[in-house]
Amino acid sequence: MISTENNSRPHLLLMALGTQPKRTTYALGDKTTQSEHAPLAWLRLQDPNDRPDKVLCLLTKKARETVWEDFARQVESLGVRAEGLDIPDGDNSEQLSATIRNVANNIAPASRLTLDITHGPRHIPFVFYALALYLSSFRNVEIVDAWYGKYESQGDTKPLIDLKPLLDLPQWFHAVRVFRETGFTKALAARFEDVKNSLPKDSSRGPSQACAEALGTFSYHYESGFPLELGLAAGKLSHALEDRPLDTMPSLNVPLAKELGEAVLEAAAPLRFESDDLKNGKSKSAWKKLYPLSREELRRQAKLIDQYLDRGQFSAGVGLMREWVVSLGVLHRDPPKHWLDRPTRMKIERELGAMNQPALRDSLSDEQKSWGTFWDQLGKERNQLAHHGMKQDVAKPESNLSEQIQSFWYRIKGADDAWESFGGSKGRLLITPVGMSPGVLYSAIKQTRPNSVLVLCSEQAKPGINEALQRTGFSGTPNVLGMKDPFNGASEIKALLQQTRKNCLDADEVLVNLTGGTTLMGVVVQQLFEQARNDQRLCRRFILADRRTQEEQKVNPWVESELFWLDKEFNGDEGND
């Protein structure tokens, strides 16, 4: 079987020459010819366009003296160059090694090679087998075919037996073993690509092309650590093998093909989606938006994480584990219809991050503390890998993850429970200072539509708060923080921060107005913003601008001012403004 592609590369026939030639009739398919040498018969039975460029013939001393000259003449009469290469008799391992080195040095990298093992010393087939594995693996030499003239066959006509499938088998076994042990499928994809290229450019290429494409897609998503795309790719690969088992695939002349296919299916099965609409790798364009989050899905992803960890692929394993924990939090919170949306996931990340804040430890349960510690350790491990050692500390090779991360992971990977909810759930909180003009509070509420309000003011400014709330239609009860000295009371800041921390933690979003009140009040609300941000709340600052004169503002304070955001939507992440 000669590939119809890459014919521009040099093509060699490697053989050894015997010393007892006997005229024999050889058959290749339905064609026959007579010759004293099986390789010569094979050359004659080939289409002239498919013959090799050169015959490289291994010669013992006796073969060169007795039969080489006549053999070379007959080869060159076919338009093929003949070159003899002297070899020792192979009486010991040193001579065998020297023979292999000598032959390898006479075969150019990236060339095409056909083997004939019919003649020569009995150890020659083993030499050729070792050479084939070495040259194809390390020198990108394509083994086009391997042949044997079966002289011992009964009858007057002796068949030329194609041995290429036996040479291919170790490569198939290697490719499947790499797949099962590492998840990498490039070697397998290359095997199917070779099968496809050996076929005519018609529909017979379909099954092998489908497998090559499915394996290529699988490899990319596995190495990238994309569990959803990988689930689809695993289904596509499995479906291709189920639809056309390897033992029925055109031109796949590989012994034990059925067992090879079953091994690939076994390796892909744990990563395959279970739902009927995605199980075979077929999907609509918006399938990810519609794909539901469930315990079963998280358990499927957990199997992939375990594979990464077992194989020492920590970068992919730790990175996916971190995302898995976020998905777990989403699953056990609100109905996860939009579980892949960034705002949904950021909310869970901030909750996990807050549970590791030292200032909040006293208000956490032991379980929440353990989750916070785990999240912190996982983040540090992920950052060490994700940033590729670009830090002052020397990155050290580790054989596994820290014991703390591993033990916690094995406890949670069933996806049955998450941590007790911490923070959030009470909507949008507005923090605003109020001076002697209650119009600031009115505009801030009208512009942001909060669920709760935290007002910082002096004792003198408190009377205007209720009217401003009534004018806006706000029905809740504000949390009013009074400052004894709004001009010089810097010593009050610490207590104000402690007093308001729970309000900020309970909020899903914290919007901070920097307009109004005294300069010190502006410092206080800025400190409140920074504290809430450190506690992993979604935070955003704004200012208000009223373009009317001061007299007009005093006469009618109940006019909405213009709002200008100072921060991007929630620190660069999409929000719900």
Segment 381-414, tens digit of pLDDT:
888 888 887 877 766 666 567 889 999 999 999 9
Amino acid letter, 235 = G
Pair (393, 451) in one structural domain: no
Max mean pLDDT range (499-503, 535-539, 561-565): 561-565
Q: What are the pLDDT digits (tens) for 189-214?
A: 988 888 888 888 888 888 888 889 99
- Whether 493 maps to a domain, the answer reads yes
Q: What are the pLDDT digits (tens) for 447-472?
A: 999 999 999 999 999 988 999 999 99
Q: What are the pLDDT digits (tens) for 531-560?
A: 988 887 889 999 999 999 888 988 899 999
CB 39 within 8 A of CB 81: no
Look at residue 397 in the predicted model and tell me its pLDDT: 63
Q: What is the number of H-type helices and E-type strands within the chain?
A: 21, 14
Pair (92, 154) in one structural domain: yes
Look at residue 4 in the predicted model and tell me its pLDDT: 43
CB 205 within 8 A of CB 279: no
Residue 440 has pLDDT above 90, yes or no: yes
Look at residue 503 in the predicted model and tell me its pLDDT: 87
For 314-367, what is the HEC assignment?
HHHHHHHHHHHHHHHHHHCCCCCCCCCCHHHHHHHHHHHHHCCCHHHHHHCCHH
Look at residue 333 in the predicted model and tell me its pLDDT: 79
Pair (15, 146) in one structural domain: yes
- Whether 574 maps to a domain, the answer reads no
Task: Give the residue from 136, 162, 188 where a domain finishes.
Answer: 162
CATH number of residue 473's parent domain:
3.40.50.10770
Q: What are the pLDDT digits (tens) for 39-72?
A: 999 999 999 999 999 999 999 999 999 999 999 9
Pair (278, 138) in one structural domain: no
- Whether 311 maps to a domain, the answer reads no
For 447-481, the DSSP string reads HH--SEEEEEEEGGGTHHHHHHHHHHT--S--EEE
Distance CA 311, CA 318 (A): 12
Pair (171, 252) in one structural domain: yes
Pair (532, 559) in one structural domain: yes
Band (pLDDT 50/70/90 cuts) for residue 1 is: very low
Task: Give the residue from 369, 387, 412 where a domain finishes.
Answer: 412
Residue 323 has pLDDT above 90, yes or no: yes
**Mean pLDDT within 96-122:** 89
- Which segment of 171-175, 260-264, 272-276, 324-328 scores lowest on mean pLDDT? 171-175
| Host H or E run for residue 308 | helix 295-310
Maximum Cα interatomic distance, the chain, rounded to a whole number of Å: 122
Residue 135 has pLDDT above 90, yes or no: no
Residue 250 has pLDDT above 60, yes or no: yes
Pair (150, 270) in one structural domain: no
- Whether 448 maps to a domain, the answer reads yes
Domain total of the chain? 4
Indicate the SS3 state at residue 250: coil
Look at residue 575 in the predicted model and tell me its pLDDT: 39
- Locate 189 and state its tokens: 């994809």
Look at residue 100 in the predicted model and tell me its pLDDT: 86
Pair (139, 17) in one structural domain: yes
CATH number of residue 140's parent domain:
3.40.50.10640
Which is it for the CA torsion 206, 208, 214, 216, positive or negative?
negative
CA dihedral angle for residue 226, residue 232, residue 237, residue 240, rounded to 10 degrees:
-160
Which is it for the CA torsion 504, 506, 510, 512, positive or negative?
negative
Pair (401, 452) in one structural domain: no
Between helices 206-224 and 186-197, what is the axis angle to 10°? Answer: 160
For 17-70, the DSSP string reads --SS---EEEEETTEEEEESSHHHHHHHHS-GGGS-SEEEEEE-HHHHHHTHHH
More confident site: 322 or 402: 322
Pair (443, 551) in one structural domain: yes
Which is it for the CA torsion 433, 438, 443, 446, positive or negative?
positive
**Mean pLDDT within 235-260:** 85
- Whether 365 maps to a domain, the answer reads yes
- Whether 480 maps to a domain, the answer reads yes
Q: Residue 199 phi/psi, 5° resolution?
A: -100, 160
Q: Indicate the pTM of the whole model.
A: 0.71
Pair (152, 220) in one structural domain: no
Percent over 70 (pLDDT), the chain = 95
Residue 574 has pLDDT above 50, yes or no: no
Strands 24-28 and 31-35, how do they pair? antiparallel
- Whether 219 maps to a domain, the answer reads yes
Q: Domain range for residue 451?
A: 428-565
**Mean pLDDT within 87-97:** 78
- Whether 315 maps to a domain, the answer reads no
Averaged confidence pLDDT in the chain: 88
Ordered alpha helix ranges (H), 123-163 = 124-138
**Mean pLDDT within 2-19:** 76
Look at residue 429 in the predicted model and tell me its pLDDT: 96
Look at residue 395 in the predicted model and tell me its pLDDT: 65
Residue 2 has pLDDT above 80, yes or no: no
Pair (58, 140) in one structural domain: yes
Task: Give the residue from 345, 378, 412 where a domain finishes.
Answer: 412
Look at residue 155 in the predicted model and tell me its pLDDT: 84
Look at residue 90 in the predicted model and tell me its pLDDT: 64
**Mean pLDDT within 157-167:** 88
CB 506 within 8 A of CB 425: yes
